[in-house]
């Protein structure tokens, strides 16, 4: 019998029975006390019984690379061994012709914007829930970030709202694969192609993520990655920008290297570009990290999807929605509480999770980007915004609202996921979320 054949009441009865069954303590757990229901914050036992393994992020491969650096006579990136190896290893996962290593993910996005030829007054549609690094490059090229609203379940750009935000000034869309969850790239590419826009993928949180079997970063016109410390793989600080498109690919290197075309250094500089070079030190480390990338992404994908199975359908909670054809590499796991059903504030809910031993936090960024004083005051350049003063844009961020994005930020709870965790640990997180949610929905 499929759910379709059941009455609503029967369906609820069946699903809650399944839920109850899934909430039964695992074998070997002490059944005597009411620990299974009493919150740890109220003196019950913790849901997470086994601590996670210590997260070890580097070792022999990194040591080997760093030692090999010492026999080099230069640490400049151009055609140097570490950078060459990094790019070669990167291409094994991302078959992109033009690849430029950068000093950060923010730099990589800035280079993409500049290489795309985006200039004063041009509009770039993107998400208001992202790292500032997504929009810094737009602003420095004197272009205008235009914020579109998000899908309430996967937290990525909502295609219909992207279409509504397109004007005659729109030049590009930056799709951020938030928390490693692929954006709807086919639809975004279709919209971009239809309107002659450049699709830039911000894959900073999405190492190893795949959209319908294809690695994210290989579908848009230009893609950017970050190697900052918090990302799935890192060299402390770093980034990569890459493209298969001849129009933009050739320009990635000079736009990250003070306008110098390293294939033709005598050529007169025609572009204004800053120094975003990555040194051989970072490249050596990143080349070693690249050998770990697929393993880390696969483990995070497995654990995040398991957590979804643990909490899916739990009244009061919305799981992180990932399309079953995609691979999300879970920079973190983002669930939402349904305030209508949870009889406590989000802070209290998160405190109860923390007491269970779960690394959870209330919210992601404190507010959507357009609510920051910097945007509200249009004070980007020494308190001024020249393109607005010149009439090149009428953008007024005090009038912007993206209701779904705001609702997401008000109700989301971040659960930390990393590759050192195992399935039992995730089941412990699941049990803790169920216990706390049941307590506050009862
Ligand atoms: C981290 C991040 C960036 C910026 O990367 P940095 O290396 O920190 O400059 C850009 N976009 C997103 C989505 C990020 O998470």
Q: Over the stretch 223-239, which tens digit does the pLDDT of each residue have?
A: 999 999 999 999 999 99
Return the ligand 1 atom nearest residue 109 CA. 10
17 pLDDT exceeds 80?
no
Candidate CATH numbers 3.40.640.10, 3.30.420.40, 3.40.50.11310, 3.30.70.380; the one for domain 60-292: 3.40.640.10
Q: Over the stretch 333-359, which tens digit does the pLDDT of each residue have?
A: 999 999 999 999 999 999 999 999 999
Residues 154/105, Cβ–Cβ less than 8 Å: no
Q: What is the DSSP letter of 224?
A: E
Q: Give the pLDDT confidence score for residue 229 in this predicted structure.
A: 98
Per-residue tokens: 131: 């790292």
Q: Give the integer Cα–Cα distance in Å for 285 and 356.
A: 36
DSSP character string of 244-293? S-HHHHHHHHHHTBTT--TTSTTSPP-S---B-PPPHHHHHHHHHHHTTH
| Burial (CB count <10 Å: 0-12, 13-18, 19+), residue 238 | buried
Give the residue from 310, 381, 356, 291 showing the smallest Cα distance to 48: 356
Ligand 1, atom 5: closest residue by C-alpha: 105
Ligand 1 centroid, distance to 176 Cα (angstroms): 10
Ligand 1 centroid, distance to 438 Cα (angstroms): 36
Residues 314/335, Cβ–Cβ less than 8 Å: no
Give the residue from 312, 307, 272, 125 showing the smallest Cα distance to 202: 125
Residues 338/413, Cβ–Cβ less than 8 Å: no
Which among 231, 372, 394, 399 is annotated as catalytic? 231
Q: Please state which of the ranges 21-35, 183-197, 260-274, 279-293 shows the lowest mean pLDDT.
A: 21-35
pTM, rounded to two decimals: 0.92
Ligand 1, atom 1: closest residue by C-alpha: 204
Q: Over the stretch 157-168, which tens digit does the pLDDT of each residue have?
A: 999 999 999 999
34 pLDDT exceeds 50?
no
Query: Average pLDDT, stretch 257-267?
Result: 92
Q: Over the stretch 73-114, which tens digit does the pLDDT of each residue have?
A: 999 999 999 999 999 999 999 999 999 999 999 999 999 999
Give the residue from 189, 211, 186, 214 showing the smallest Cα distance to 200: 189
Mode of pairing for the β-strands spanning 210-211 and 222-226: unpaired
Q: Over the stretch 109-123, which tens digit does the pLDDT of each residue have?
A: 999 999 999 999 999
Ligand 1 centroid, distance to 426 Cα (angstroms): 27
Ligand 1 centroid, distance to 134 Cα (angstroms): 7
Per-residue pLDDT band at 23 (split at 50, 70, 90): very low
Domain boundaries, the chain: 60-292
Per-residue pLDDT band at 20 (split at 50, 70, 90): very low
386 pLDDT exceeds 70?
yes
Query: Average pLDDT, stretch 252-278?
Result: 94
Q: Give the integer Cα–Cα distance in Å for 158 and 150.
A: 5
Is 231 considered catalytic here?
yes
Q: Is 222 helix (H, G, I), strand (E, B) or coil?
A: strand
Per-residue pLDDT band at 37 (split at 50, 70, 90): confident
Residue 136 to residues 48, 66, 141, 351, 382: CA-CA distances in angstroms?
40, 32, 9, 34, 15
Ligand 1, atom 7: closest residue by C-alpha: 105
54 pLDDT exceeds 70?
yes
Q: Give the pLDDT confidence score for residue 50 in this predicted structure.
A: 81
Ligand 1, atom 6: closest residue by C-alpha: 105
Residues with CB under 6 A from ligand 1: 104-106, 130-131, 133-134, 176, 202, 204-205, 226, 228, 239
């Amino acid at each position: 019998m499929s759910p379709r054949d059941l009455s609503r009441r029967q369906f609820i009865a069946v699903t809650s029975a399944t839920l109850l069954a899934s909430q039964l303590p695992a074998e070997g757990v002490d059944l005597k006390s009411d620990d299974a229901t009493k919150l740890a914050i109220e003196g019950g036992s913790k849901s997470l019984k086994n601590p996670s393994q210590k997260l070890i992020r580097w070792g022999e491969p990194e040591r080997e690379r760093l030692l090999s650096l010492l026999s080099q006579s230069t640490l400049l990136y151009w055609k140097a061994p570490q950078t060459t190896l990094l790019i070669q290893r990167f291409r094994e996962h991302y078959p992109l012709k033009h690849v430029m290593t950068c000093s950060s993910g923010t730099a990589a996005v800035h280079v993409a914007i500049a290489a795309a030829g985006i200039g004063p007054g041009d509009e770039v549609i993107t998400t208001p829930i992202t790292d500032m690094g997504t929009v810094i490059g737009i602003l420095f090229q004197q272009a205008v970030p235009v914020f579109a609203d998000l899908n309430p379940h996967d937290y990525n750009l909502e295609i219909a709202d992207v279409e509504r935000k397109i004007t005659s000034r729109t030049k590009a869309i930056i799709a951020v694969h938030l928390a490693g969850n692929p954006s709807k790239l086919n639809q975004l590419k279709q919209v971009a192609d239809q309107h002659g826009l450049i699709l830039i993928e911000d894959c900073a949180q999405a190492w190893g993520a795949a959209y319908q079997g294809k690695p994210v970063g290989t579908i848009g016109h230009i893609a950017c990655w970050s190697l900052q410390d918090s990302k799935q793989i890192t060299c402390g600080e770093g980034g990569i920008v890459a493209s298969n498109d001849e129009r933009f690919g050739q320009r990635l290197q000079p736009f990250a290297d003070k306008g110098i075309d390293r294939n033709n250094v005598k050529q007169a500089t025609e572009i204004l570009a800053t120094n975003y070079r990555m040194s051989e030190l970072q490249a050596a480390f990143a080349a070693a990290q690249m050998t770990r990338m697929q393993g880390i992404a696969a483990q995070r994908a497995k654990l995040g999807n398991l957590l979804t199975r643990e909490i899916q359908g739990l009244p009061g909670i919305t799981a992180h929605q990932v399309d079953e054809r995609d691979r999300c590499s879970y920079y973190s796991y983002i669930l939402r509480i349904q305030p209508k059903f949870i009889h406590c504030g989000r802070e209290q809910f998160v405190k109860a999770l923390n007491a269970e031993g779960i690394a959870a936090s209330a919210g992601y960024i404190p507010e959507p980007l357009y609510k920051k004083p910097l945007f509200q005051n249009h004070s980007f350049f020494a308190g001024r915004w020249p393109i607005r003063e010149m009439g090149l844009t009428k953008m007024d961020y005090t009038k912007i609202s993206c209701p779904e994005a705001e609702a997401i930020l008000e109700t989301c709870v971040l659960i930390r996921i990393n590759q050192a965790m195992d399935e039992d640990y995730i089941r412990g997180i699941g049990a803790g979320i169920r216990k706390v949610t049941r307590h506050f929905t009862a």
